[in-house]
Chains A and B, each alone.
Chain A
C-alpha cells in the first residue's frame, strides 16, 4: 500500500512536470485566448479517456484470467455438486468458449452499456454498483475534503514555523497519518468515540453522524502526504522574489499567505490528492469493513474472493472512470489555481 502511494507521488510529480511542458508548447503555438487551448485540451483528454477505459476493461478481463481457480467450481463446491454439474454451470457461464469469443462478447455487452449479471448474487451488476456507489462516493469525498484541509493546515503551519516544535508536531502528525493502517486507526477511533465517549455510532451508513468517524479516519491517512507536499511547496514559494515584493509593498501578511503563497503552493497538492484516488478506494475497502458501511469496496473484495468476474470487471471500470474524472478535474483546478501554468 505504501509503496503504491510513493509511486503515486512520484508519478504525480513527473505528471505535473510533463504537463507544464505540454502546456508551454501549446502557448508557444500562439494561442491568444485562454479558453481555446483549455477547450482543445479538455477534448483531447476526453478522447484519451475512452482509450483508457478500453484498456482498463481489457486489463480487468485479462487479470482475472490469470488468477487461479475456476468460478463454477468455486460457486458450487460446497454444495456437493458433481463434476458434471460443475461442467454444466461452466458452460452456462460461457467459460467454455475460447477466450477471444468471451472477450468479444464482453466488449459487445459493454458497448451496449450492459455490465452483465453477477454469478454470485444473480442480479444485474449495473444495479448492484449503482446501489453501492453513493456510499463510497460520499465517503471518498468527505475523506478527501477532511484530508486536504487537515493536510494543508498542517503543511502551512509546519512551513511557517519551520524547525520549531510546531513543525515537529505537524510533521509528526503527518507521518502518523501516512503510516497508520486504517484497520487499526479505525478501531482506535471506534473504541474512543463510540464505546467510551458515545459521541458517534460505530457502524452503518446514511446520515452525517455515520459519516464523520470513517471520513476522519480515512482523511487522516490521506492528510499525511498532502501535509508533506504543502510544507515543501510553501517553503519554496516563501523564498520567491514576489513574496518579498509583496512584503515590501506592505500587504497584510494574511493576504500574502492566502493569495500569494498558498494558492501556488497548493496546486501540486491538488494533483496528489486526485492521484490518491486509488489509495482512497483501497482504503475505503478497509474503512467500509471496519465501520460496517455500504460501499463498492466490500462488493469488489467479495467478488474477487468468489471470482465473480462480471462484478470485478464492473467495479474496475467504475474505478477507472472515477480516476479519469478526478485527474481531469484536478488538472483544470490546478490551472485555475496557478496562472503560471496557462
Chain B
C-alpha cells in the first residue's frame, strides 16, 4: 500500500515535471506593417495569425487529412444540386461579450460580409455566387448559392468568414476592428495599430473543434508585435523580445537552426508557387519553343540554394506540392538542361549572327522585359535568372515596380515575364491565374478547354473528380509552358525552445495558439 503510494507520488512528480505548466505569456512577431485587421473587410494573411484564436468558424479543416470537421456547426448537409448548404449549429456557445451564438448570428455575419457598404476586400469573394442566408430555426441555418461553388467549405473554415458578435459589430461600427469580439479560445483585449495586439485566455471556452488538443487555452496571454524589417526579426528573437517570429530570412534561419535555444519551424504554405508568368501574347514568347527553352534554361536548384539557402522546395508546377489536387507528374517536365534550351532557341530561329553574345532573328535581339516587385526575394531571383539566361544568349531588361504598377503593366500586356505567388488552400486558386477571364491571367492564355476544366472543378463537389480536373490543368499549364515555377512558399518560423506545441492550420499561416504551452 505504502509502496503504491510512493509510486503514485513519483508518477505525479514525473508527470508534472514533464507536462508544461499552464499559464504564462508569449510575444509573437508579425511581419506586416499595421493594416486593417477586420477579417470580414481586410485581406492580409497576417490578420489571421492572431484572429484565428479570437474567432471560431462554422467548420474546420484537418491539415493532416484535408477533411472538414465540425466547428460552430456540428454537422452539415449539401443539397443534391450543390446550391444549398444546411448547418446544424452547436448549442450553448457564447461570444466573449455574452451574446448567444445562434442561426441569427450566422445570418448577421454573412449579410455583413456581403453588404456593399462594408467594401470587403476578401471575405465577400470567398463566398463566390452567394445568394442569401436563411434562418431555419434557432440552431439551423441555410446558405443558398446562385450556383454550385465547391470551394465554399474551404472558405467557411477560414478566419475571414469567422463569426463575430452581432452586438459588438453594431456597437462599434467602423471602429469594430479595434474591439473585436468572437467565440474563440482567446479574447481580444486591445489593439494599438502599429504597436501591439493583446489576447487573453477565454476561461469559458468549451466548444473547440476536434482538431484542437486542449479544451481551453494553456497560455494566459499572447502579445503580437510588428517586425516589418526582415533584418531585425532574428535579433528580436535572440534578444528575447519575441518568442515566435514569422518569416525569418533564409540566411538567419540557417544560423538559428544551429542554436540550442531556438528552432526553425518551416511550414509549407499551400497555393500558387512563386513563378514567372510568360506573356504568350507578346513576341518572342508567343513561340512555344522559346518558352520551353526558357524553362530548360533555368537552373531552379541553383536559385533555391543561393537565394533561399535550400529552405524551400523547388517548384515543379503552378501548385505548391502541399496543395490539395497537386499533380506530381509536373516534375517530369523541363529538368535543367541548357543544351536543350540552346537547341530549342536555334530551332526557333534565334542565333547570334553578329557575335555580340545576344541571339537575334530578323535583326531583332532576343531581349525580354522582366518586371519584378520588391518583395518575396523577387529581385534576387530575377538577378540570378538574368545571369543564367545571359549564358544562353538572352538579354533580360529587369525593372522593379510597385504592386499597383505591376497590375497595370500586366493588364496592358507590356511585360514578357513577371513573377507572382499567392497562398490559398483550395486549388480553385488556379482559376485566378489560368482562366482566360482571370484577373491574374498574366500568361495571357486563352484555352477554352482549360477554362472548362477550371469552371467544372469549381462546381463539382466530388473531391476525386476535382483532383482529376486540377491534374489536367496543371499538366496543360506545363505542356503549354505558361510559367516558370521557382519555389514553393515556406514560412520559416523562428521559435524559442521554451515555446511548445505550436501547430498551424491547413493554410499554413495561422497558428492554433490554444495548444501552445511554455516549458520549464
Q: Do A and B share a complex?
A: yes
Interface residues of A (CB under 8 A from B): 67-71, 73-83, 85-86, 88-89, 92, 117-124, 127-128, 131-132, 135, 183, 187, 190-191, 194-195, 198, 201-206, 288-295, 298-299, 301-302, 305-307
Q: What A residues does B125 contact at CB under 8 A?
A: 76, 79-81, 85
Residue B41 at the A interface, CB < 8 A? yes
Task: Indicate if the CB atoms of A124 and B174 lie closer than 8 Å.
Answer: yes
Which one of B33, B34, B124, B236 lies within 8 Å of A202 (CB-CB)? Answer: B236
Q: What A residues does B405 contact at CB under 8 A?
A: 67-69
Question: When A124-B174, A131-B193, A294-B193 are in contact, do A77 and B439 touch as well, CB less than 8 Å?
Answer: yes
Task: Indicate if the CB atoms of B404 and A69 lie closer than 8 Å.
Answer: yes
| B423-467 contact mask (Cβ, 8 Å, vs A): 1 or 0 | 000000101100001111000000000000000000000000000
Alpha-carbon separation in the docked complex, A190 to B194 (Å): 19
Alpha-carbon separation in the docked complex, A202 to B242 (Å): 10
27 residue pairs from A and B, CB less than 8 Å apart: A68-B408, A69-B404, A73-B407, A74-B407, A76-B125, A78-B43, A80-B125, A82-B437, A88-B116, A89-B119, A120-B35, A121-B42, A122-B38, A124-B174, A132-B194, A194-B241, A198-B239, A202-B235, A290-B229, A292-B226, A292-B227, A292-B228, A292-B232, A298-B34, A299-B33, A302-B34, A306-B403
Question: When A69-B404, A74-B404, A198-B239 are in contact, do A203 and B232 touch as well, CB less than 8 Å?
Answer: yes
Alpha-carbon separation in the docked complex, A11 to B36 (Å): 39
Alpha-carbon separation in the docked complex, A216 to B194 (Å): 21
Q: Nearest CB to that of A184 among chain B residues?
A: B231
Shortest A283–chain B CB gap in Å is 14
Q: Nearest CB to that of A200 among chain B residues?
A: B239
Q: How large is the interface on B (under 10, 10 to 19, 20 to 34, 35 or more residues)?
A: 35 or more
Interface residues of B (CB under 8 A from A): 33-36, 38, 41-43, 116, 118-119, 121-122, 124-126, 174-175, 177, 192-196, 225-229, 231-232, 235-236, 238-239, 241-242, 402-405, 407-408, 411, 422, 429, 431-432, 437-440
Known: A118-B36, A298-B228; 16 extra A-B contacts, CB below 8 A, are A73-B408, A74-B403, A77-B440, A79-B126, A80-B432, A80-B439, A89-B119, A92-B119, A121-B35, A123-B177, A187-B231, A187-B232, A289-B33, A292-B232, A298-B194, A299-B34
Task: Indicate if the CB atoms of B403 and A190 lie closer than 8 Å.
Answer: no
Task: Indicate if the CB atoms of B229 and A183 lie closer than 8 Å.
Answer: yes
Shortest A118–chain B CB gap in Å is 7
Which one of B228, B404, B438 lies within 8 Å of A68 (CB-CB)? Answer: B404
Task: Indicate if the CB atoms of A194 and B43 lie closer than 8 Å.
Answer: no
Q: What A residues does B238 contact at CB under 8 A?
A: 195
Shortest B152–chain A CB gap in Å is 14
Q: What A residues does B408 contact at CB under 8 A?
A: 68-70, 73
Q: What B residues does A80 contact at CB under 8 A?
A: 125, 429, 431-432, 438-440
Most buried by B among A123, A131, A301: A123
Task: Indicate if the CB atoms of B232 and A290 lie closer than 8 Å.
Answer: yes
Q: Nearest CB to that of A183 among chain B residues?
A: B229
Task: Indicate if the CB atoms of A190 and B235 lie closer than 8 Å.
Answer: yes
Alpha-carbon separation in the docked complex, A127 to B404 (Å): 26
Question: When A76-B125, A122-B174 are in contact, do A69 and B193 touch as well, CB less than 8 Å?
Answer: no
Task: Indicate if the CB atoms of A195 and B235 lie closer than 8 Å.
Answer: yes
Task: Indicate if the CB atoms of A73 and B404 lie closer than 8 Å.
Answer: yes
Q: What A residues does B36 contact at CB under 8 A?
A: 118, 120-123
Q: What A residues does B226 contact at CB under 8 A?
A: 292
Task: Indicate if the CB atoms of B239 and A305 lie closer than 8 Å.
Answer: no
Task: Indicate if the CB atoms of A83 and B439 lie closer than 8 Å.
Answer: yes
Which one of A71, A79, A298 lies within 8 Å of B122 (CB-CB)? Answer: A79
